[in-house]
Amino acid sequence: MTAVHDESLLAQVAALPALPGVYRYFDAQGQVLYVGKAKQLKKRVSSYFQKDHGGTRIGHMVSKIARMETTVVRSEAEALLLENNLIKSLSPRFNILFRDDKTYPYLKLTGNGSLLIKVEGGMPEPQTFPRVAYYRGSVEKKHRYFGPFPSAWAVKESIHLLQKVFRLRTCEDTVFANRTRPCLLYQIKRCSGPCVNLIGAQAYAEDVQQAERFLRGETQALLQEMEARMMRHAERLEFELAAEVRNQMAALSKVLHQQSVDVGTDTDVDILAVRVHGGRACVNLAMVRGGRHLGDRAYFPAHVEDAHALQAVQEEDQAPRSMAQQVLEAFMAQHYIGIPVPAALITSVAVDKTLLLALSQQAGGKILAVHNPREQRRVWLEMSEKNADIQLARLLAEEGSQQARTRALADALDLAPDDLDALHIECFDISHTGGENTQASCVVFRQHKMQSSEYRRYNIEGITPGDDYAAMQQVLMRRYSKLAEALRSAEGTARLPDLVLIDGGKGQVSVARAVFSTLGLDLSRIVGVEKGEGRKVGLEELVFADGRDKVYLGKDSAALMLVAQIRDEAHRFAITGMRAQRAKVRMGGSKIEEISGIGPRKRAKLIQRFGGVRGVENASVEDLLGVEGISRELAETIYNALH
């Protein structure tokens, strides 16, 4: 039967133009269901409402549509970019969605290479001698960046190579400015000692230029130039300088031999392989930068089956795409938003030309994709496909194991959820240090995994320091009082967790029982996790609030493994929150955090650089500028706020 929709929504659909654009569907609660693009908005959107989709996934989604928004754009490529920007920001329920964890690391060379300050005597200045460093964040024009790299390890390995071959400094500017003798890195020939004038500014600048060429993949030309420089030194009888260049060439040759990859003419390439199995998918991304294979990284999208089912609603002139194609195109569209795209892409399946056109427009240059490569590119693709197979098999094995644990726990405790995937568990723990900074944590387990986005911390106040029972009473009352009201009024879709785990024994469970009795909630859902004999892991016993006898599930029980996993996560979450709160109080960090533009990471960098809040207060604007991520405007804001 066709879903019944509001007349105003159907009128909005009928009034849509036959132009390219993006549409968004929302449910009655305002949650976004789906984001899509179309060559012709009217034709595409109408197809959802004019057909009977029955009990399919499409029908399930269409039945939930209560509201719609549309945006008209100039072209299909423009629609594709907007669509994926919205998918990343709105996280729709029925779109293929990749986690936005692409905070890729870069290798940074400080300075832009346009300014060289020559120092004649006196102390050397840090800006004269560029520093090589690991970096995450938005890039700035005043520095040079190489990457992105697939992992922190790849960046650090590249920095290690630059130290061995070109002996560039890695120390912070504040350390550099206060050295009076060379450090250990100079002694082991990993730095040329610019901090104490053991190398001139011009010679150091040449090393920096050579390092840049190495990172860009110009290795053969670099070796030829170094050889010519060595011969010039020898002809001028500058044998010590010639020996230094010779040693540098030997180190570079050794590195190239160890890192050897027959790259041909390729310098920057991304290799993308996709595998789909059992309703799950994996995209493996391998990166070649500067002619060097830097490693790979696996991505696992959500909502694959739902999104693939919706492909049935499409324009007549669009050929059906396989699930692998759909997943890979979704990854490329979402992944390359806001980061550089290499000119060459190697893919395991063919991708849509409209997507490549959109990426080319965004990059300002032509992007080519090859899905049937030869020679070395074929080797790269086969490596990436093999890694995708391995990573997907590992994910399916882990999920199968986790599902078995969920099923074992449901059977052991006689839980009967309508859907095992929807089994909802919440676990509470209390943490403090001698009564100071008491915090309670609540972690959530559902769909066979921890749902970190739903974790909550509660600051506990108004109790006797160290009174864990009072703390547990307060957090449970705060957590479930509104839910109890919603259940009594029978409004909305309020639902009590299937299981409420308490980290504690009979005393803690008694407190939870009193709270649930007051709120009129089901006592059978409360289970305490009591430490076993000697507090050894695997000997825990379960304590029930409804009067049932204690249960010991057995050391090798899959159900106990899941209980312990959830309990340990609640403890970890509580401990980290308590430590952060304690550090804020003792170090006065809250004063800095109150400054607009300063979050936990920048606060940590400031305190680490200056040794505490007092050191930050004593720092000048110029000192503050030396901290990564601190602009002049922000430095002045910090200085004014602390003075």
Express each pLDDT in 431-442 by its tens digit. 876 666 788 899
Please tell me if the domain spanning 269-312+319-393 has the same topology as the one spanning 420-583.
Answer: yes
Q: Please determine, for residue 346, whether its predicted confidence score (pLDDT) is greater than 90.
A: yes
> Chain-wide mean pLDDT for the chain?
82
**Concatenated DSSP letters for 80-118?**
HHHHHHHHHHH--TTS-B-------EEEEESS-SS----
Write down the pTM of the prediction: 0.62
Chain segment 93-134, per-residue pLDDT in tens: 888 888 765 567 888 888 876 645 454 555 677 788 999 988
Angle, CA 93 vertex, CA 387 and CA 9 arms, to 5°: 145
pLDDT reported for residue 1: 43
Of the chain, the end-to-end C-alpha distance in Å amounts to 69
What confidence tier does 266 reach under pLDDT thresholds 50, 70, 90? low
pLDDT reported for residue 254: 58
pLDDT reported for residue 500: 94
Q: Please determine, for residue 278, whether its predicted confidence score (pLDDT) is greater than 70.
A: yes
Would you say 93 and 306 are in contact if contact means Cβ atoms under 8 Å apart? yes
Q: Identify the CATH number of the domain defined by range 269-312+319-393.
A: 3.30.420
Looking at the structure, give the CATH architecture of the domain made up of residues 420-583: 2-Layer Sandwich (3.30)
pLDDT reported for residue 123: 64
pLDDT reported for residue 418: 67
Kindly give the residue spans of alpha helices, DSSP state H, lying in 261-374.
304-309, 323-335, 353-363
pLDDT reported for residue 313: 62
The mean pLDDT value for 475-481 works out to 93
| Stronger pLDDT, 409 or 313, i.e. the higher one | 409
Chain segment 204-252, per-residue pLDDT in tens: 988 888 888 877 777 667 777 777 778 877 888 878 778 777 776 776 6
Question: Residue 406: is it exposed, middle or buried by C-beta count within 10 angstroms (0-12/13-18/19+)?
Answer: buried
- What is 588-642's CATH topology? DNA polymerase; domain 1 (1.10.150)
Q: Identify the CATH number of the domain defined by range 7-90.
A: 3.40.1440.10
In whole angstroms, give the CA distance from residue 539 to residue 537.
6
Q: Is the peptide bond before 148 cis (omega within 30 degrees of 0)?
A: yes
In whole angstroms, give the CA distance from residue 166 to residue 192.
8
pLDDT reported for residue 517: 93
Bridge partner list, 499: 425
Chain segment 509-547, per-residue pLDDT in tens: 999 999 999 999 989 889 999 887 656 666 788 999 988
Q: Please determine, for residue 183, whether its predicted confidence score (pLDDT) is greater than 70.
A: yes
Q: Where are the domains of the chain?
A: 7-90, 105-258, 269-312+319-393, 420-583, 588-642
The mean pLDDT value for 353-366 works out to 87
